[in-house]
Chain A
Amino acid sequence: MSESNQEGRYGIHGGCYIPETLMTEIEKLKESYAHYKDDPEFCAELDRLMREYAGRPSLLYFAKKMTEDLGGAKIYFKREDLNHTGSHKINNVLGQALLAKKMGKTRIIAETGAVQHGVATATAAALLGLECEIFMGKEDTIRQALNVYRMELLGAKVHPVESGTMTLKDAVNECMREWTKRVDDTLYVLGSVMGPHPFPMIVRDFQSVISKEARAQILEAEGKLPDVVMACVGGGSNSMGMFYEFIKDEGVKLIGCEAAGKGIDSNETAATIAVGREGIFHGMKSYFCQDEYGQIAPVYSISAGLDYPGIGPEHAYLHDTGRAEYVPVTDDEAVNAFEYIARTEGIIAAIESSHAVAHMMKIAPKMRKDQIIICCLSGRGDKDVAAIARYRGIQLSE
């Protein structure tokens, strides 16, 4: 019989379901991470990069106009959109790229959907002198040609992935294949709290800086903890980062906003908790959108970053235990929120983050004025402007 292996489990979820070819490398990654995460020199270097390069701590911004307009709870935004490269992805990438360097790797590879992770990875690679290759669904490279060029400007080689649905999940497939080809000098810098153990843990740890800061910032500003903490969820990295330090605060309600696409009753959705079932995919046991035979379902969302058929295993666990609530938000609601926050607060937020804003617009008016919501603005929305215009039937020429 095998040794019992409880590490890397979140209830029944998690684990490490990958080909044997990668197992030794995953073991090495586990060991290296265990060593460096508490290494004073590593921590000091990462801390310096976070402050001096990424621009941390990010602001906790009180949205006064929106609070007044919605007429309920006090609304705060955790401004991950103001980080260097424009999203929370840099938090994880700097950590993993630095780890890659310490492990003696000279090359990093990554998947990307909305290009936030791709750009962050290409950026860290440029900064730390690592070779970088990005895998991106061909469908997404067409949706975001300009962003592909951004990654190339940063020195990355971008591979359009033409298999399957040509979106984020296929980019992950291709990254895993590429990693099995070349493990010696390469680290797969996974972008979300998903995949085989130890990735969900590593990414969560590096992203938990969001809630570490936010918790201290809100205590400073309000002298009390928030009532609701919320974020959008695809794989779930910004939300896990936003939730993590609040999990122990039982009075704080945690809400993850999934991409419902055209609605959870349509076939065009990516709301995994709403429509998925337990399964094994991309190295982990978790919830996945799948058909009756266990084939992974094609999913859809206007947001390329949430267009993923699964969810990280720790989220699956938070759902099972009821500690966090997961709600679906449609394309339409997200686009409305995208426009609303731009007009009301002068913030162009990522379409991903706008899913969380949309749900916040529903719950804030029903809450008391002395209650507090913190919503994570995971990224900025410059990348989405053309797609939103298209959604509204406006033709733009650059």
Chain B
Amino acid sequence: MSKIREAFNNKKCFIGFLTAGDPSLDKTKEFILAMEKAGADIIEIGIPFSDPIAEGPVIQAANVRALKNGCTLTKIFTMVEELRKETQVPLVFLTYANPVFNYGYDAFCKKCQEVGVNGMIIPDLPYEESDEIIEFTKKYNLDLIRLIAPTSEERIVKLAKDATGYIYLVSSMGVTGMRNNIKTEVDGIVERIRQCTDTPVAVGFGIHTREQVEKYCRIADGVIVGSAIVNIIAENGEDATPKISEFIREMTGKS
């Protein structure tokens, strides 16, 4: 069983997301350690990209800041390597396809395993195109996290069957960002997924309140919170650590 999968053993998971290198990689490391301490079970690390087409304004802006500050894939790998000396929290890269393709699928996956990354999410590499990387994620024991959207409908069967780690259930149409009103009937989709796989389901996109966390943890196996955390970093920069901790404790109820 993968380390990511183990995190879901007998508990609901809080998955926190942040963009690497915003405002600096030293701070990213500090934020991740604080997130774990405050109750995050898995951390998703966004690799900044020039054109993040699945992101809303908050995470787009974080990508711009990170790239402006000189964040590169090479430096992110080094940061993770150092991070691994201090924590065993499961780490997942969220990256667009091009930086991975450019690095080389084999080399990228190998490097992920070496530095201690446990899985990856590639929003612009859908099921039909994922063959090109899957032999390497398997070879290096990485979970390729699949996304399922409100529009996936009949596709759910094949998506769920091949899923490893967890399934990222996209709660809403559109891009990432905090939403007060999630309209999708998430329960129905979770039910359909459960008929196809026992891979845990985590709900993301829009979640930023305690009520939402409780609701979706009841329905699914965990929640993913991104823009709300990135927004705290945007507002507080280098001094964001205590605010992030406070926010995650509030979300997870682990005060």
Q: Write the residues of chain A forming the contact surface with B, with a CB cutoff of 8 angstroms.
A: 1-5, 15-25, 163-164, 169-170, 173, 176-177, 180-183, 277-283, 285, 288, 290, 292-296
Instruction: Tell me how far the C-beta of B218 lies from the nearest C-beta in chain A, rounded to whole angstroms.
Output: 24
Contacts of A173 in B (CB 8 A): 51, 53
Minimal Cβ-Cβ distance residue in B for A278: B101
User: Chain A residues with Cβ under 8 A from B53's Cβ?
Assistant: 19, 173, 176-177, 282
- Given A23-B155, A280-B124, A295-B50: A17 touches B149 (CB 8 Å cut-off): no
Could you tell me if B150 and A296 are in contact, using CB atoms closer than 8 angstroms? no
Q: CB-CB < 8 A to A280: which residues of B?
A: 97-98, 101, 124-125
**Is A20 within 8 A of B99, CB to CB?**
no
Instruction: Select from chain A the residue with minimum beta-carbon distance to B67.
Output: A295
A17-B151 contact, Cβ under 8 Å, with A164-B51, A173-B53, A290-B98: no
Bound complex: CA of A282 vs CA of B151, how far in Å?
A: 20
| Stretch in contact with the other chain, from B85-93, B128-136, B245-253 | B128-136
Chain B, range 39-80, C-beta contacts under 8 Å to A:
49-51, 53-54, 56, 60, 64, 67, 72-74
What's the least CB distance linking B65 to chain A, in Å? 13
Task: Report the nearest A residue to B98, measured CB to CB.
Answer: A294
Q: By the criterion CB–CB under 8 Å, are A21 and B150 in contact?
A: yes
Output the least CB separation between B112 and chain A (Å).
Answer: 15
Asked whether A177 and B174 contact (CB < 8 A) given A20-B126, A23-B126, the answer is: yes
Chain A to chain B contacts (Cβ below 8 Å), 9 pairs: A16-B129, A20-B148, A21-B170, A23-B128, A279-B102, A280-B98, A281-B98, A292-B102, A296-B50
Q: Render B126-160 as a binary contact track against A, CB cut-off 8 A, 1 for contact.
A: 11111100100000000000111111111100110
Give the CA-CA distance A20 to B50 in the complex, in Å. Answer: 20
CA distance A22 to B170 in the complex (A): 12
Residues in B neighbouring A20, C-beta threshold 8 A: 123, 126-127, 146-149, 151-152, 155, 159, 170
Number of interface residues of B (CB under 8 A): 46
Q: How far is the CB of B195 from chain A (nearest CB, A)?
A: 19
A233 → B minimal CB distance (Å): 21
Separation of A227 and B90 alpha carbons in the complex (Å) = 61
Q: Contact between A163 and B60 (Cβ–Cβ < 8 Å)? A: yes
Residues of A within 8 A of B148 (CB): 20
In the complex, the answer to whether A21 meets B173 with C-beta atoms within 8 Å is yes
Most buried by A among B60, B127, B128: B128
Can you list the 8 inter-chain pairs with the closest CB atoms, starting with the nearest? A294-B102, A181-B174, A21-B149, A294-B99, A280-B97, A295-B50, A20-B147, A294-B98
Contact A19 to B98, CB < 8 A, known contacts A1-B134, A3-B128, A295-B49: no
What string of 1s and 0s marks CB contacts (under 8 Å) between B82-119 and chain A?
Answer: 00000000000000011111110000000000000000
Instruction: Judge whether A25 and B147 touch: CB under 8 Å.
Output: no
B-to-A contact residues, CB < 8 Å: 49-51, 53-54, 56, 60, 64, 67, 72-74, 97-103, 123-131, 134, 146-155, 158-159, 162, 170, 173-175
CB < 8 Å neighbour of B131 from A1, A169, A277, A278: A1
User: Within the assembled complex, what's the spacing in Å between the Cα atoms of A15 and B126?
Assistant: 10
Known: A164-B50, A173-B51. A16 touches B128 (CB 8 A): yes
Partner of A19, one of B51, B147, B155: B147
A266 to B58: give the CA distance in the assembly, Å: 33
- Contact across chains for B173 and A180 when beta carbons are under 8 A apart: yes
Residue of A1, A278, A283, A294 touching B124 (CB-CB under 8 A)? A283
Q: With a CB–CB cut-off of 8 A, which chain B residues contact A292? A: 102
Are B99 and A17 within 8 A (Cβ)? no
Chain A hits for B99, CB < 8 A: 293-295
Distance (whole angstroms) from the CB of B201 to the closest CB of chain A: 14
A24 CB contacts on chain B under 8 angstroms? 149, 151-155
Contacts A1-B134, A5-B128, A181-B175 known; A169 to B51 CB distance under 8 Å?
A: yes
Is A296's CB under 8 angstroms from B98's CB? yes
Give complex CA distance A280, B97 in Å. Answer: 6
Q: Known contacts being A17-B124, A21-B151, is A182 close to B173, with CB within 8 Å?
A: yes
Q: Which of A16, A17, A293 contacts B73 (CB 8 A)?
A: A293
Task: Decide: A294 and B151 in contact? CB cutoff 8 A.
Answer: no
Q: Is the CB of B51 within 8 A of A296?
A: yes
| Minimal Cβ-Cβ distance residue in B for A170 | B51
Find the residue from A21, A278, A296 having the highest chain B CB count within 10 A: A21
| A180 contact set on B, CB distance < 8 A | 54, 173-175
CB of A343, distance to nearest CB on chain B (Å): 41
Q: Which residues of B contact A163 (CB under 8 A)?
A: 60, 64
CA distance A332 to B153 in the complex (A): 52
Q: Which of B64, B101, B147, B159 contacts A294 (CB 8 A)?
A: B101
A2-B162, A164-B50, A279-B98 known, 9 other contacts, Cβ within 8 Å: A2-B127, A2-B134, A20-B149, A24-B149, A169-B51, A180-B173, A181-B175, A293-B73, A294-B103
Residues of A within 8 A of B123 (CB): 19-20
